[in-house]
Amino acid sequence: MSSPVSLLDFTFAGIGERLAVDGVNPRHARPLWGALHRELSVDVENRDDFPAPLRAWLADHFGHDVTLDRPEITATTASDDGLTRKLLLRLDDGAEIETVLMGYRGRTTVCLSTQVGCAMGCVFCATGQMGFTRHLRPGEIVAQVHHARRLLRSLGQNGPRNLVLMGMGEPLHNYDAVLRALDIISDTGGLNIGPGRISVSTVGLVPAIRRFTAERQPYQLAVSLHAATDEERSALLPINVRWPLEELLAACREHAATTGRRLFFGWTLIEGKNDTPSDARRVADLLAGLDAHVNLIPLNPTAGYAGRTTGLAAARTFQTVLRTAGLACTIRERRGIDVAAGCGQLRATVV
């Protein structure tokens, strides 16, 4: 027998199709969907309010060929300022991932993991330093949003308002599961987080970016750039050897031309490596003509990389060069560094 499938892996349409295959009217998908993604209920078996055919279907299948992902929170750490919370989640096979909640003026952005570890090996990233264990299933990505929303509800808050796929893993390496999860998360009858508020960050998997473009995926795309020459980029991001800057930028321009949407670029600032005004000018040349927003991320410390972070003054100079060249550019606030919840620090350890 094949292994059971989680109800959280299904899209709304998928539940309807599955019910129909089993001879149940697909309109009964609606109450089940509401229980799962609006109430965030984890008990679908003892529901007197469900219609009888749905109750009968659950009695036949739940716990056998259909289950429910319930990653457990094994630790919650809050940063000293209380604005960042890191959840350590244990999956059903014992693997661990992290989800980070970041509060900004009453609005919360949640940073989701898409894999256990990462295969891309970027030298300054703690997740890359731990290597790749496995892809997450759609339900394991959706469950992270459930946990975040439950936590916010318990604090009397709404949200999350925005999602960034910038936790552990390379989202486009796990393309199908990630896009299915986003379909589930953005469903207006469920969690209802709009596609424009969801940002997918990639290290630069060119064929996957092309597919994302061709499929007209409605989510924001962020590309991690970090260097403006192939030699420098390949030294930081091994994937650049396979898909160098010229191909990456061509895929970016194709995305911009096809979707008409602004592209986001990540630039981790490393002292003496990629943080000088002349580096900034090369970035401006590379992105010339694109509607682009560059996010500068001062390097966060990780055990496996000795590089040092750029000071605020140099970051501001870098920003000014890009802005003068007509690019949008912000410096990302450093968040949650004291609890190792900053960008690139996630490796499932309890601090």
170 binds ligand SAH (CB under 6 A): yes
Q: Is 98 a catalytic residue?
A: yes
Out of 39, 72, 98, 122, the active site residue is 98
Beta carbon of residue 62, minimum distance to ligand SAH (angstroms, whole number): 34
- Here's the x/- map for ligand SF4, 198-227, by CB under 6 A: it reads as -----x------------------------
Taking the alpha carbons of 132, 265, 216, 211 in that order, is the dihedral positive or negative? negative
Which parts of 79-114 are beta strand (E)? 84-90, 96-104, 107-111
Question: Using CB under 6 A, which of 266, 294, 319, 331 touches ligand SAH?
Answer: 266
205 binds ligand SAH (CB under 6 A): no
339 binds ligand SAH (CB under 6 A): no
Binding part of the chain for ligand SF4, among 58-66, 115-123, 156-164, 316-324 by CB under 6 A, reads 115-123
Strand ranges across the sheet with 96-104? 72-78, 84-90, 96-104, 107-111, 162-165, 198-202, 220-224, 263-269, 292-298, 328-331
State how far the Cα of 149 lies from the Cα of 160, in Å rounded to an integer: 6
* Residue 127 vs 213, nearer CB to ligand SF4: 127
* Residue 55 vs 134, nearer CB to ligand SF4: 134
162 binds ligand SAH (CB under 6 A): no
Instruction: Return the number of other C-beta atoms located less than 10 Å from residue 333's C-beta.
Output: 11
State how far the Cα of 189 lies from the Cα of 160, in Å rounded to an integer: 16
- Here's the x/- map for ligand SF4, 307-346, by CB under 6 A: it reads as -------------------------------------x--
Beta carbon of residue 103, minimum distance to ligand SAH (angstroms, whole number): 19
* Residue 256 vs 331, nearer CB to ligand SAH: 331
* Residue 203 vs 339, nearer CB to ligand SF4: 203
With 0-12 CB in 10 A as exposed, 13-18 as middle and 19+ as buried, what is 82? exposed
Torsion angle defined by CA atoms of residues 70, 86, 208 and 294, in that order, rounded to the nearest 10 degrees: 160
* Structure-token pair, residue 148: 């975040």
Q: Evaluate whether 117 touches 129 at the Cβ level (below 8 Å).
A: no
Beta carbon of residue 124, minimum distance to ligand SAH (angstroms, whole number): 5
236 binds ligand SF4 (CB under 6 A): no
Question: DSSP per residue over 258-315, as a string?
Answer: HH-PPEEEEEEEBTTTS-SHHHHHHHHHHTTTS-EEEEEEEPPPBTTB---BPPHHHH
Beta carbon of residue 156, minimum distance to ligand SF4 (angstroms, whole number): 33
Q: Position of tokens 């290597």?
A: 131
Taking the alpha carbons of 222, 283, 118, 333 in that order, is the dihedral positive or negative? negative
319 binds ligand SAH (CB under 6 A): no
Q: Evaluate whether 7 touches 15 at the Cβ level (below 8 Å).
A: yes
* Residue 122 vs 185, nearer CB to ligand SAH: 122
Question: Using CB under 6 A, which of 67, 79, 84, 127 touches ligand SF4?
Answer: 127
199 binds ligand SAH (CB under 6 A): no
270 binds ligand SF4 (CB under 6 A): no
* Residue 53 vs 238, nearer CB to ligand SAH: 238
Question: Using CB under 6 A, which of 120, 182, 245, 340 touches ligand SF4?
Answer: 120
CA-to-CA separations, 312 to 40, 46, 269, in angstroms, rounded: 42, 55, 10
* Residue 248 vs 299, nearer CB to ligand SAH: 299
State how far the Cα of 213 lies from the Cα of 165, in Å rounded to an integer: 17
Q: Would you tell me which residues interact with ligand SAH (CB under 6 A)? A: 122, 124-125, 166, 170, 201-203, 224, 266, 268, 297, 299-300, 302, 343-344
**Any idea which residues carry the catalytic annotation?**
98, 343
Q: Would you tell me which residues interact with ligand SF4 (CB under 6 A)? A: 118, 120-122, 125, 127-128, 169-170, 203, 344
